[in-house]
Amino acid sequence: MMAGYLQDAESTARSKAVTVPALLAMRQAGEKIAMLTCYDSSFAALMDRCGVDVLLVGDSLGNVCQGHSSTLPVTLADIAYHTACVARGNQTALLIADMPFGTYATPQAAFDNAVRLMQAGAQMVKIEGGEWLSETVRFLTDRAIPVCAHLGLTPQSVHQLGGFKVQGKTTEAADRLKSDALSLQVAGASMLVLEAIPSALGKEVTDKLTIPTIGIGAGPDCAGQVLVMHDMLGVFPGRKARFVKNFMEGETSIDAAVRAYIRAVKDKSFPGPEHCF
Ligand SMILES: Nc1nc(=O)c2c([nH]1)NC[C@@H]1CN(c3ccc(C(=O)N[C@@H](CCC(=O)O)C(=O)O)cc3)CN21
Ligand SMILES: CC(C)C(=O)C(=O)O
Ligand SMILES: [Mg+2]
């Protein structure tokens, strides 16, 4: 619920909450889905008021809030805390929480941990990985927990990937990613994040699936786009990935920058070729 003192804020708010079926309908209607990461109540209220469709409590909070160089140190308690904060500021955006590294190794562990995030206010959980997660996706969705899958550059696997590198570049890797995506959809995933893959592969995966695909460095043909809030506001001091655009440039408020991001996603002017692989 929204705190009383926030209710007077200028609002162009949606009258209806964004739901899982509504996101599917947006994909079918060809309306691009605008998603941003969010970590606290004030930014949640701002983003929701601006019309962001989906808020993600990303484990990128390990980098942008905690100052770590990877997402591996982030705990379930960290994500549960930030999810509860975001839930209090949000009214109508769909709220997704990342499951941290090591918290979904088995279907039962994934369920127990996802329950904590749903009780903190998440409406969907996100997990990184391919076909090996199919059983987990089925286990969660059978128990009323919507799942977003995440393929391509999966930052929790940084030590296996050997760095934050573009994925799916060889024919074998691209074929593997496409079959992983289909397995996850068949297992019941409601959405799929695609990170740092060639644009052509982003389009192929999107065309192959019926669920919405959300790209971050996956080209302009995904059903939606996501960026880390600190990247799109130009406040993250670390290395800037190719897919990042600073939407504060040319704007004079955070509100205007968030609106510019949503507009650019909806009118398909973001991502441009300079943000793609
Ligand atoms: N602030 C922030 N933004 C993010 O997007 C993000 C995080 N943190 N933390 C977790 C992961 C890490 N991510 C990253 C980090 C670096 C690159 C990067 O520098 N990629 C190179 C690709 C190099 C290649 O060509 O293979 C690039 O040029 O974009 C990509 C994703 C995405 N996630
Ligand atoms: C960048 C998005 C997709 C993410 O997983 C995160 O912010 O943790
Ligand atoms: Mg993440």
**Residue 10 falls in the annotated catalytic set:** no
59 is in an annotated binding site: yes
pLDDT along the chain (277 residues), means of 10: 46 83 97 98 98 98 97 98 98 98 98 99 98 98 98 98 97 98 98 98 98 98 98 95 98 98 98 98
60 is in an annotated binding site: yes
Nearest ligand to residue 64 Cα: 1
pLDDT tens-digit series, residues 196-227: 999 999 999 999 999 999 999 999 999 999 99
Selection from 190, 256, 199 nearest residue 25 by Cα:
190
Reading the block at residue 164, the tokens are: 């934050």
Percent of the chain whose predicted confidence (pLDDT) is above 90: 94
Average pLDDT over the chain, rounded to an integer: 96
Q: Whose C-alpha lies nearest to ligand 1, atom 10? A: 60
CA of 7 to the centre of ligand 1 (A): 36
List pocket residues of ligand 2, CB cut-off 6 Å: 37, 56, 58-60, 98, 193, 216, 226, 228
Q: What are the angstrom distances between the C-alpha of 272 and each of 38, 164, 220, 225, 265?
A: 23, 21, 7, 12, 10
Read off the pTM. 0.96
CA of 10 to the centre of ligand 1 (A): 34
Closest atom, ligand 2, to C-alpha of 128:
5
DSSP assignment string, 31-59: PPEEEEE--SHHHHHHHHHHT-SEEEE-T
pLDDT recorded at residue 14:
86
175 is in an annotated binding site: no
List pocket residues of ligand 1, CB cut-off 6 Å: 60, 63-64, 71, 153, 155, 164-166, 196, 228, 230-231, 236, 239, 241-242
